[in-house]
Amino acid sequence: MRVALSTASFVLLAAAATYTSASPLKKRQAFQPAAFDTWVWQDVSGTQCADGSSTGIAYNAHADYNTKDLLIWFDSGGACRDANTCFYNPTAWNLNGYTNYTFQNYARPALESQILMTTRDPSRNNPWANSHMLFVPYCTGDIHGGNNVITYPNAPRPIYHKGYTNFQSIVSLASSSVPWIENIYVAGSSAGCYGAVINYVAVRQAWPSATVHLVADSCEGVPGFLDAIPSWNLYQPSGNSCPDCVQGQFNSIVPALAQANPRSRFAAISYTVDDFLPYYMGTSLSDFAALIKQYFINITNTAGNMAKTFSVSGQAHGVFIRDTPGSSTDSALAAWLASMKNLGSNFTSQSV
Ligand SMILES: *[C@@H]1O[C@H](CO)[C@@H](O)[C@H](O)[C@H]1NC(C)=O
Ligand SMILES: *[C@@H]1O[C@H](CO)[C@@H](O)[C@H](O)[C@H]1NC(C)=O
Ligand SMILES: *[C@@H]1O[C@H](CO)[C@@H](O)[C@H](O)[C@H]1NC(C)=O
């Protein structure tokens, strides 16, 4: 049932509503999208970009209000870790703020016509074409995982590495707005891939009765990577939410989350040779390619058979970002993701 209100927004109306948890129909009235099957920007108070300015989210609500699938897509865009990479020769995007304008001009075209998982174009066979979608912008330089304010030596002003705390605000708003969701797919490419992996636990906790799956495109870590940039104060899953996660070791997280969440599926995607991450990680293309290969073997062998990989032969970074719509890789990836999404299917690792 859809309720049309002129004061449509993504805000929580639940506090004012008089429903009980036994009334799912009324619960749905808590979410009043401004429009359906199109992207809508919404400012979110309490969020901070690298320059301290506030940002928001974009959502794309599907017209079928009964949809119980939600895709959460984390934006990509590099990283920064000192005055040079954050200010003088920036290696991260949107450090000077992220607004509706940024979203409309830079993110939206890619969401609509490039990235397979976020397109509603029927010719692409996107398994999430009929899902609700939430876009998490990236403007903190900290792979969506930081919680620190720091003035780097020789920097003109502080940097707000607040990706983790921003997502806490976002996920709190989103889970109270669409509490009925049953299947959540946390996903991203590059910096957004790290963001999806690191923030998986926050999504699990925000929707305790939903099943949360992961699609991680092009993120791996050299040994100790999670501890390598203390200025980010990166969140690391641990304890009850990820008993097998190993401190500092990014590559331990996906297999460990698969162990801790046996009903959920985990998909890792990469080119065989990533030509971007090795520069951030201070290693060679060939050593990093060997690391990806072993990491993908580890994922494939995770007990439970719910974590698998999709490997694209070639040298590039970000399969969803670089993939050509309509190509054979695009259709193979769509078919593989459909198998991942269908919990009754035989989910296996694939190389193309
Ligand atoms: C965002 O920008 C679009 C395009 O300019 C505009 O139609 C929309 O009303 C804006 N949304 C908000 C919340 O300002
Ligand atoms: C593969 O798994 C082993 C055992 O957990 C671990 O020691 C190793 O670091 C992992 N390698 C990669 C590249 O993930
Ligand atoms: C699943 O697929 C793999 C690889 O194609 C195959 O070896 C295996 O027998 C299949 N398992 C089932 C239960 O169909």
Residue 11 has pLDDT above 60, yes or no: no
- For position 30, what pLDDT does the model report? 62
Closest C-alpha to 193, from 270, 248, 104, 124: 270
| Residue 342 Cβ < 6 Å to ligand 2 | no
Mean pLDDT of 277-295: 97
Tokens representing 345? 């299917």
- With bands split at pLDDT 50, 70 and 90, how would you rate the model's confidence at 31? low
Residues flanking ligand 1, CB < 6 Å: 41, 100, 104
Q: Please check whether residue 252 is in contact with residue 245, taking contact to mean a CB–CB distance below 8 angstroms.
A: yes
DSSP 105-164: IIIHHHHHHT-GGG---GGG--TTTTSEEEEE---SSSTT---EEE--TT-SS-EEE-HH
Q: Range with the lowest mean pLDDT among 4-8, 46-50, 258-262?
A: 4-8
List the domains of the chain with CATH numbers.
Answer: 7-351 (3.40.50.1820)
d(CA 14, CA 27): 8
- For position 94, what pLDDT does the model report? 98
Mean pLDDT of 16-25: 38
| Ligand 1 center from residue 55 Cα (angstroms) | 14
Atom number in ligand 2 closest to CA 249: 9
Residue 96 has pLDDT above 50, yes or no: yes
Pocket test for ligand 2, best of 197, 295, 309, 311 (most atoms within 8 A of CB): 295
Q: Please check whether residue 80 is in contact with residue 95, taking contact to mean a CB–CB distance below 8 angstroms.
A: yes
Q: Please check whether residue 323 is in contact with residue 116, taking contact to mean a CB–CB distance below 8 angstroms.
A: yes
Q: Which ligand is closest in space to the CA of residue 11?
A: 1
Q: Which ligand is closest in space to the CA of residue 251?
A: 2
Q: Please provide the average confidence, as pLDDT, over all residues in the chain.
A: 92
d(CA 237, CA 241): 7
Q: Dump pLDDT digits (tens) for 238-254.
A: 999 999 999 999 999 99
| Residue 114 Cβ < 6 Å to ligand 2 | no
Q: Please check whether residue 254 is in contact with residue 296, taking contact to mean a CB–CB distance below 8 angstroms.
A: no
- With bands split at pLDDT 50, 70 and 90, how would you rate the model's confidence at 66? confident
Where is pLDDT greater, at 208 or 11?
208
Residue 304 has pLDDT above 50, yes or no: yes
| Residue 299 Cβ < 6 Å to ligand 2 | no
Q: Look at ligand 3, atom 11, and give the residue with the nearest C-alpha.
A: 346
Q: Look at ligand 2, atom 2, and give the residue with the nearest C-alpha.
A: 298
Q: How many residues does the chain have?
A: 352
- For position 65, what pLDDT does the model report? 76
d(CA 314, CA 65): 40
- For position 20, what pLDDT does the model report? 38
Give the number of other CB atoms < 10 A from CB of residue 210: 20
Residue 29 has pLDDT above 70, yes or no: no
Closest C-alpha to 145, from 84, 74, 239: 74
Q: Is 294 exposed, middle or buried (0-12, 13-18, 19+ CB in 10 A)?
A: exposed
d(CA 329, CA 326): 8
Q: Please check whether residue 268 is in contact with residue 307, taking contact to mean a CB–CB distance below 8 angstroms.
A: yes
DSSP state of 187: E
- For position 16, what pLDDT does the model report? 32
Q: Dump pLDDT digits (tens) for 134-172.
A: 999 999 999 999 999 999 999 999 999 999 999 999 999
Mean pLDDT of 266-295: 97
| Ligand 3 center from residue 312 Cα (angstroms) | 21
| Interacting residues of 268 by C-beta distance below 8 A, sequence separation 6+ | 216, 217, 254, 295, 296, 299, 307, 308, 309, 310
- With bands split at pLDDT 50, 70 and 90, how would you rate the model's confidence at 32? confident
Where is pLDDT greater, at 266 or 27?
266
Mean pLDDT of 80-87: 98
